[in-house]
Amino acid sequence: MPSVQRYLSGHNNAARSAALSASSVRASQAIERVRAQRTGGGRVRLSGAYSGHAAAQVEIELRAAGGVPRASQPQFAGVGNGQLSVLGVDAAAPLQALTLTLVDLGVPTEHAQLALREVQIRARAPGAAGNQIRITVQPQLHRAATDWALLADWPAGSALQQGAQWDWGGLPLSAQGQLDERSGRIQVGHDPQVYRPYRVYKDGAWQFGITPAPERPLPAGAPVWRVTGGYVVTVTDGQAVETYGDTAAGQAALVTLYELLSALAGSALVEVAGVVAAERALGGQAALDVPLRTQAWLHGLSGKVDLKDVSVPPAAPTQQLTVRCINADVVGRERWSVQGAVSGALPVAVTGQRYQSAAADFLIPATPPAAVGSGEVGFVYTPTGRSDDEGLPSVCLRPLRLGANARPLTVTFRYSKRPPAECSCSDMPAPRLSPACLGIGEDMDIEDVEFMSRIKAVYAWREAFIRGNTGVQLAGMTPGTPEIPGTPGTPPVTRWRFTVQYGGNVMQGGSTTWQSARAVSQQLYDDESEARTALDAAKNAGPLPAGTALGPITRGGVALDLQSISGGFSFSKVDGPLPVDIHASGAGSVVTGGTPGTPTIPAQPGKAVPLSYRAYVIDLDWMESAIPILVGCLSRVYDKPAARQAWDALWEEVKTDLGHLQAARNDLETAAHAHARYLDRYKSTVDNILLSVGILPKSEASSTDAGSCWTDHGGTHWWVDTEGNYLPAFTGHAYISAKRDADGKVYSTKEFGFGLLVACAERLKEGDQITVRIHSVDGHRPYQVGDEAVISTVAAGPAWLAGGVDGTDAQTWRVAGSVSGALPDYIVPTDGAAAPVYHQAGARLQMALGGIPFALGDTFSLAIEAGQWRWRRDAGAWSALADIPASGQAPLADGLQVHFDSGAAPSFADGDAYVFAVHQPWAVGHVRDAHESAWGWAGAAATLEIDLGAPTPVAALALARYHLPAGAQVRVAIDGAAPQLLDTSGPVAVLLLPAPVQASRLLISISGAEGGHIGWLWAGLPLATDHHASQCQRVRRWAVGRGSGINPASLYAGAGDGWRLAWSPSDAAASRLLQADLQRLLPLLDWAQQQDEPLILVPHHRHPQDASLVRLGADALEITDQHAWQPDDAQHRLLSATLDLEPVFA
C-alpha cells in the first residue's frame, strides 16, 4: 500500500491545462504604453478600470481624413507664462490655423504708494487719485539739557563707540538683541534725528551705541539733549483729513514707526503693505521714531558768531542764510544783515532781539564788552587868536568818561554863536525823500517786529477814524429864493438805496420754471459806502428761503421789500430757494430837492451847487492832537518790556475816548484847542511810563532829548562839532555824545561824556576849540563789523504718495485665421478679473494671465483640425474607422477608454500608431501555478469553473497562497455533485477524496470574501511513494531579519512550517525508497526547481490540516543505494535519501 505522505505539485496538476471560467475579475488600471509611432504633436492614451479576465494588447491607429473639428493644443512663443485654453469648437468651424499676437499691453492701474523703510504706505483707492495724498509729520518734541556733550566726532554710519565718554545712559540690550523698553530718547546738537542709546558688552569692554546709526557726522562739542514727546501725523487727499497722535484731541501718542503703522490700519485713505511688527531689535519698527521728516530742518551752524535758540520754520527753503554784522556802533544793539541764497535780502537783525522770518528764527545774544568805561582818553583846549590884553578862560572837561561804545576817535568842538530861536529849522516841515530813489525801499527803517505791530495798529485805527469823519458831497441844486422873504429852503440831499435781484430754476408741481424776485432796500442811506455795505450784507445772506411771501423781509440784517416775482408767471410767494443773481443787483442815488419858498408867491429857480469833499475838521483835529502823544512815547520805550504793558493800557483808553467821535459828523462843537488841557490826561500817563523805565520826562522829547541824555540848554552860544557828527555841547553842563538819526531823532552814541567847566566864561571867544581824543579802549567789542554766522537749512514738505495710475487694465491680442483672415481683437483684462470667452470662427477660447507678464509680440498659435481612428486587441481584427470625438475620448471594451490628447498642430497624422499593454494582476489564469500572482474577484461572491476537457482522475483538490477575510467560505462541486466545504483556516486548504473519481468539471464557489484572492488551485492525483518515509520531521520557521551586534533588533516578516523527510534502508520492510518511487519523485522535484514553484506536502493523508506549502531546501538531493548501485535488476535497489523542505512564509 502507498505511504501516508502526499505530494501535490504543479507537475501533476490537472487544473494547469484546464479551461478556466470565472464569474468576475477584479478591475485593473495597470495600463502601459509599449510603443508609439507618430509624427503628430498629440498623444493617445488608454484609461479605465479594465475588467477583462486576462491581460491584453491594444493597438490604436490614426487616419487623417474626415472627422469632427477640434482644436490642437495652443503653442506659445514669447516671455509671459499665461495660458490660452480651448473651451470648445463648433461643429461647423472651418479647419484652419489661428494666431493670437499681443499688440497692446494697455496701461495697468497702479496704487499710489510711499516707501517707508521695509513697508509701503499705499493708497487704498487705486489710480491717480492716490497721488493727491499727502502725509505731514509735525514733531511735538520737548528737549531737556543733559550733562553730556560730544568730546570727539561721531562718524556717519557708525553705530558703536568704545569709551566712557560715549556713555549717555544707554541700557544693555537683551539676550535677543532688543532694546530695553526703558531706553531713553536723545538728540545730538542740531541733528533732527532722534536716537536711542544702548550698550553691549563686547571684547571684554562695554561699547556704547545709538540707533539708528547717524546719517550725518555728529560734531565734537555738540550737546546731548534728552527728548520726550511724539508726533502728530496728518493724512489728507485734499478733501478728507485724518489726524493721528494728537494727544490734545484725546488720541494715543505716536512715537515709533510701529505705532504709526498700527494707527494707519484704521485709515480710510491709506493702507500699509508689508509686515507690521513690534520689533524692538536695533532698527526695528518699535525701536525707531517716526522716520518721516516733512518740515524744514537745521542742517548746520557755522561762522564766528554763536547764534542762540535757532529754529527753522516748517516751510524754510534749502539754502545758506548768512547773518553778517553791518553796524557795531552801539554795543548790544549791533545791526546785522540777513541774506539767504534763496530768500535773498531779509530785514535787518538787531542784537538781543529775537529774529523771526520765513527763513529762520534765531537770537544774536547781547554780550557785554570785556571792559566798560576804561581806557586812555584826553582833551586839548585850543583858544582862537586874541590880542595881548585879552585874557583866556580856564576850560576843563571834568569828569571825562568813556561809554560802553567807546572807540578810538578824535572830536573837536568849536565855540560858536548859535542861530536865533526864530531861525530854527526844527519846526519847518520836512520835504519827503523818495526811499525808492535812495534804493532803500518803501519800508520804515524799524526792525523791531513788536514795535512795528503796535505802530501799525495805531495808524490803522487812525485811518479808520479819518475815513469815518470824511466823505463826498455830490452835486445838487440850491433852493430857489421867493420873491417875498419867507421860510428858507433846505439844501438838496443825496441819499442811496439799492435793489437785489434773486433768480434761478425752481421746481414746482413736478416741472422746472425760471423765477426772479426783485427786492428793494426800505432804508435810504446818507452815504454810498453805507449803502454798498448793506447791499453786500443782503447778498451774503444767500438765497431766499422757500415760502418767502411778497412784502417786507430781512436779509443779512437789512430790511428789504420783496416787490415782484416774474418769469412767465406771477406768484404771491417764493416756492423754492432763489439764489442771488449778483449781476442784477446794484445801488443808486436818490436826490431830494430844496424846500420851496412861500407857496403864495412864485419862487425863483435854484442854483447849481458843485461837488464838494466833506471833512469833519473839529473831530479830526482832536484826534491828531492825541495820537502823537502815544507815538512819541512808544518810540522811547518800545525796547523796555516793563513799559510796553502800561503803553498798551493807555492806547486802549485813548481808543475808547476817541471812539465817540467816529461818526460822520462833527461830534465836538468847539475847536480842538478848546479841549487841549484834556490831553494832559494822556501826557501825565506818558510821563509816568517814562519814569518807570528811568527816563526823565521832557517837553518835546522827540526832538531835543536823547532819552534824557542830551538836552538843548539854550543860550546864545554852544560848542559845535567841527565835522558835524555830534550834537553841540553847552558851557557849564554835562555832555553825553549824541547824534541825530536819519529821521532827526536824537540818540546817545554811548561813546564818551564830559562836564564842560569854564572859569571866566566871559573870556570865551568864538573860534575857541576843545579836542577830545580817545587813544585806546580797554577790552574789545563783542561784535565787529564783518562778523558772521551761517545757518544751513534743508527744505522739506509733506510726503506724497506717487505712482498711482488710472489704467486701461486691458491687453489687446490681434487674432488672425489662415482661412478666415483678420478676426476681431481679443481684449483681456489685467485687473484680476476673469478674461471673457473669445468666440470667433467657431472656436471658443479663454486666456488666463500668469505670474510672468506677457510682452509685446507674444504669440499663441493653434489649429482647428479633424481625424479618424481604429483599434484592435491582441492582434485581432481592426475596428471600423471612427471620428476622433470632440470630447477627445471614446469607449473600447471591458471598461477601457481611449483618449486623444491634442498637441502642437497637427495633433495627429495619418499612420500614427500606438500599442498598449493592459495588465491584469487579478487574471483568473494566475491560479494555474503556485507563484505569488493570484485571481481576485469583484464583490463578495465569485465562482470559478474548471473544465478538465475529459474525465480525469481526481483524488484531491487544494488551494494555496490565498487571502480570504474571516467568515469567508469556499465550496467545491465535482461534476454537479453536492458542494463540499474546504477548510481555509490554515495557509493551505486540501480536500482528499476517499477514493479517486473521474471528473470532467469542477466548480468552486466563494462567498463572504470581498477583497479576497486565491493564488493556486490544484486538482488531480497526488504523488505517494510505495513506503512512507522513515523520518518525517516538522520544522517551524520564522522569517526574521536581524541586525548586527549584541542583541540586535529584528524585523518579523512571516512564519511557516518546513519538513524533513528521510528514507532509510535499515527498515526495509516499512521505509524503503524503490526505484519506481525515485522515477516518479525526481520529475516532481525537477519541476519544482525548473519552475521555481512551491509544492504542497501533506504529512499524512488522514490529517490534511497539517499540509504545508514548501519548496526544496537545497539545490541537491543525495540518493544512496544500500547495494552501491550494483544490483543487476534496478528493482532490487534499496535506496535512501533525505529531502529538506523549507516553508513558503505567509
Predicted confidence at residue 1106, as pLDDT, reads 94
What does DSSP say about strands 1013-1014 and 935-936: parallel, antiparallel, or unpaired? antiparallel
To the nearest 10 degrees (0 to 180), the angle between helices 617-637 and 680-692 is 10
- Cα–Cα dist 655/647, whole Å: 12
- Cα–Cα dist 515/574, whole Å: 9
pLDDT digits (tens, 9 = 90+) for 462-514: 667 666 665 544 445 545 555 555 556 556 667 788 788 877 766 555 556 66
Query: What integer best gives the mean pLDDT of the chain?
Result: 86
* Between 189 and 1, the higher pLDDT residue: 189
Report the pLDDT averaged over residues 528-536: 83
Could you tell me which of 273, 59, 168 has the C-alpha nearest to residue 872?
59
Predicted confidence at residue 1026, as pLDDT, reads 87
Predicted confidence at residue 744, as pLDDT, reads 74
pLDDT digits (tens, 9 = 90+) for 881-917: 999 999 999 999 999 999 999 999 999 999 999 999 9
- Cα–Cα dist 1056/1035, whole Å: 8
- Cα–Cα dist 684/629, whole Å: 10
Residue 950 pLDDT class (50, 70, 90 cuts): very high
Predicted confidence at residue 279, as pLDDT, reads 92
Q: Which residues pair with 160 in a beta bridge?
A: 209
Predicted confidence at residue 516, as pLDDT, reads 78
Predicted confidence at residue 970, as pLDDT, reads 97
Q: Spell out the domain ranges in the chain.
A: 6-22+923-1143, 31-68+866-918, 75-108+807-865, 113-294, 300-367+787-799, 375-418+714-777, 494-535+574-592, 615-692
* Between 684 and 719, the higher pLDDT residue: 719
- Cα–Cα dist 521/449, whole Å: 45
Highest mean pLDDT among 180-194, 411-425, 684-698: 180-194
| Residue tagged 556704547 (cell numbers) | 208
pLDDT digits (tens, 9 = 90+) for 118-132: 999 999 999 999 999
C-alpha cell at 314: 516748517
- Cα–Cα dist 960/956, whole Å: 13
For 624, the enclosing helix (H) or strand (E) is helix 617-637
Exposure string of 297-316, with b = 16+ CB inside 10 Å and e = fewer, is bbbebeeebebeebebebeb
How large is the greatest C-alpha to C-alpha distance in the chain, in angstroms? 204
Could you tell me which residues come within 8 angstroms of residue 517 by beta carbon, excluding any fewer than 6 positions away?
Answer: 501, 502, 503, 544, 548, 562, 564, 565, 574, 578
Report the pLDDT averaged over residues 223-245: 95
- Cα–Cα dist 1008/1010, whole Å: 6
Predicted confidence at residue 426, as pLDDT, reads 57
**Using an 8 Å Cβ cutoff, are 30 and 918 in contact?**
yes
Residue 708 pLDDT class (50, 70, 90 cuts): low
Predicted confidence at residue 1075, as pLDDT, reads 87
Q: Supply the pTM of this predicted model.
A: 0.53
pLDDT at 990 over 80: yes
- Cα–Cα dist 577/504, whole Å: 8
For 451, the enclosing helix (H) or strand (E) is helix 449-468
Predicted confidence at residue 746, as pLDDT, reads 84
Predicted confidence at residue 880, as pLDDT, reads 94
Could you tell me which residues come within 8 angstroms of residue 158 by beta carbon, excluding any fewer than 6 positions away?
Answer: 213, 214
| Percent of the chain clearing pLDDT 70 (strictly above) | 86
Report the pLDDT averaged over residues 802-823: 95
Predicted confidence at residue 569, as pLDDT, reads 41
Residue 781 pLDDT class (50, 70, 90 cuts): confident
pLDDT at 1022 over 90: yes
Predicted confidence at residue 705, as pLDDT, reads 46
- Cα–Cα dist 619/626, whole Å: 11
Report the pLDDT averaged over residues 616-635: 79
pLDDT at 543 over 90: no
- Cα–Cα dist 107/103, whole Å: 13
pLDDT at 939 over 90: yes
Among 113-117, 142-146, 672-676, name the one with the lowest average pLDDT. 672-676
Predicted confidence at residue 534, as pLDDT, reads 85
- Cα–Cα dist 880/63, whole Å: 12
Residue 600 pLDDT class (50, 70, 90 cuts): low
Predicted confidence at residue 636, as pLDDT, reads 76
Predicted confidence at residue 673, as pLDDT, reads 58
| Percent of the chain clearing pLDDT 90 (strictly above) | 59
Could you tell me which of 470, 462, 467 has the C-alpha nearest to residue 655?
462
CA dist 380 to 386, 391, 406, 407, 757, Å? 18, 18, 18, 18, 13
Residue 421 pLDDT class (50, 70, 90 cuts): low
pLDDT digits (tens, 9 = 90+) for 158-196: 989 999 999 999 999 999 999 998 989 999 999 999 999
Predicted confidence at residue 386, as pLDDT, reads 87
Predicted confidence at residue 444, as pLDDT, reads 41
CA dist 460 to 441, 467, 627, Å? 21, 11, 12
Fold of the CATH domain 6-22+923-1143:
Jelly Rolls (2.60.120)
For 139, the enclosing helix (H) or strand (E) is strand 134-149
Cα end-to-end span (Å), the chain: 34
pLDDT digits (tens, 9 = 90+) for 1085-1127: 999 999 999 999 999 999 999 999 999 999 898 998 888 888 8
Residue 584 pLDDT class (50, 70, 90 cuts): very low
Long-range contacts of 545-551, Cβ-Cβ distance < 8 Å, separation of 24 or more: 545/574, 545/577, 546/574, 546/575, 546/576, 546/577, 547/573, 547/574, 547/575, 548/517, 548/573, 548/574, 549/573, 549/574
pLDDT at 341 over 90: yes
